[in-house]
Amino acid sequence: MKTKLIDGYEYIEYIKETYPEEEALERSQAFRNWMEKRRTVRDFSDRPVPKELIDNVILSASTAPSGAHKQPWTFCVVADPEIKAKIRVEAEKEEYESYNGRMPEEWLEALKPLGTDWHKPFLEIAPYLIIVFRRNWEPAEDGSRKNNYYVSESVGLACGFLLAAIHDAGLVALTHTPSPMNFLSKVLERPENEKPFLLIPVGYPVDDTYVPNITRKRIEDIAVYY
Ligand code: IYR
């Protein structure tokens, strides 16, 4: 490994990952086609998932860039049926209130094609719940708080990487946002520097799975070239 000191800090040689144009085009098309197949799934099978798969997708998520490379995330992985049941009870309590008064009519209308409601059986059926926490700061030895930076952006990126890794492993996921979700800090006894960010059930889909017939925006709708 080639190394170099710059301003007193060690740098390592970056091993380039570049391709001839034609190969790059093929790869980008293949990657795009594969990403197009990813879908949010709500109907999970209880088929077990090896823990090593979960370790790997979390490690892939943790390759995401983060503010000042602070990696301000914690992935809590829940397989324990009792904890899953507790989470379901608490989530459904909040979701019931949301769907019955807290969410405005326009929001409920927007969700209708997706078929969501306050029932969250997947919280008990999916073999794993990955609850992603954002670490707003780090506790220092002397009791003070060390800052993290761009925490939302960083954790959002890590969650994106996580979903891609889950898809790559042949698993499915659901980005669930019970609201408010502070109950997760209590149930999982998380320290005060961590706040829940996303709850992601992971597993295999049931045999006969249907997902909403949605389309994705075209390049003209999402990109502006200058
Ligand atoms: N948190 C609720 C509602 C919900 C909100 C959005 I925006 C969605 O895309 C889907 C659901 C729930 O999880 O059901």
CATH of the domain at 127: 3.40.109.10
- Alpha-carbon gap, residue 126 to 107, rounded angstroms: 27
At 67-106, the pLDDT tens digits run: 999 999 999 999 999 999 999 999 999 999 999 999 999 9
**Model pTM above 0.95:** yes
Q: Which residue range forms the structural domain that includes residue 73?
A: 41-222
Question: Which residues, 6 or more positions from 199, have their beta carbon under 8 angstroms from its beta carbon?
Answer: 87, 91, 123, 129, 130, 131, 132, 176, 177, 178, 181, 184
How far, in Å, from the CA of 177 to the mean position of ligand 1?
Answer: 6
Q: Pick the closest to residue 72 from 157, 12, 176, 129 (CA basis).
A: 157
Distance, CA of 120 to chain centre: 18
Total number of domains constituting the chain? 1
Residue 151 alpha carbon to ligand 1 centre in Å:
22
Mutate to test the pocket of ligand 1, among 108, 177, 200 (most ligand atoms within 8 A of CB): 177
Sign of CA dihedral 144, 76, 185, 133: positive
Residue 5 lies in a domain: no
- Whether 36 is covered by a domain: the verdict is no
| Domain annotation covers residue 136 | yes
CA atoms within 13 A on the CB side of 63: 10
pLDDT band, residue 153 (cuts 50/70/90): very high
How many angstroms does the Cα of residue 116 sit away from the middle of ligand 1?
Answer: 7
Assigned domain for 137 exists:
yes
Using a 6 Å CB cutoff, which residues line ligand 1?
95, 111, 116, 176-179
